[in-house]
Amino acid sequence: MWPRVRRSFAAPLAPPRRTRPPGSNGDFFDRVHALVRRIPRGKVATYGQIAELLGAPRAARIVGWAMHGNPHGSRVPCHRVVQRGGSLSPNYCIGDPGRQRRLLTREGVSFCLDGRIEMARYQWAPVPPGSPRQARRR
């Protein structure tokens, strides 16, 4: 019995804790972060919209995981990603529930009386590559 116990203490330390859910594709998380960086100031996108734009329409929860484990800090504007219907994310910043709203208000996003964002006005509509609007922007 003692040799087994001694062996368990001699085992190497466990790898660092994952910031991504088990079985997730790291490339997908990188693509989520790259797409969220493209959301302009004063606009918002939903978790489902991000997932759909990445070709995985049923992966809204995975997009949430990617936003929660964002390793890039403020370079990825995670506060611009909201729930469908314009509701703010309840777990955006633990310990400061009003932070997401303050950041969006600073960018010019206004809120309805019920606390939701008017999605028809503020939802981001990305320009697809190769469209006439994309060609004019260059």
Indicate which residues carry an active-site annotation.
78
At 78, which amino acid appears? Answer: C
Q: What is the CA radius of gyration of the chain?
A: 20
Using the structure block, give the residue that is written with the tokens 């309840």.
90
Q: Which residues are paired to 45 by β-bridges?
A: 81
DSSP string, 30-74: HHHHHHHHTSPTT-BEEHHHHHHHTT-TT-HHHHHHHHHT-TTGG
- Closest by Cα among 112, 103, 98, 90 to 43: 103
